[in-house]
Structure 1
């Protein structure tokens, strides 16, 4: 049986109503985790108001003992 470990990262959004992130910083963070053996399994936002996002939540997994 395979064993997995998980990592969750929360990115705070910016902008007047929220929902904006630095795309290059976000991509760099994803690539860094990918190089460490983490696989992205989920990415979602948390609502603030009127469709704006407060946080972007990213979930990774990798085999234990990588």
Structure 2
């Protein structure tokens, strides 16, 4: 039976009202995890108010 381990990345958004994501920085983080063997399984944001994003959550998995 395959065994998996999971990792969660919480990326804080910036900007005066939040919701701003630096795409190059975020992509760099995703690539770092990919280099370490992590596979992105899911990615979603958490709400702040009026449609703004507070955090972006990325969930990764890799075989143990």
Report runs of 4+ in structure 1 exceeding 6 Å deviation.
none
Q: Deviations over 1:13-49 (max 9, x none)?
A: 0112211111111001100110111000000000000
- Residue of structure 2 in register with 1:29 after alignment: 29
CA deviations 1:41-65 (Å, max 9, x no partner) are 000000000000000000000001x
Q: How many residues align?
A: 64
1:53 — aligned with what?
53
Deviates more, 1:11-20 or 1:50-59: 11-20
Is there any run of 5+ residues in structure 2 with no aligned partner, and where? Answer: none
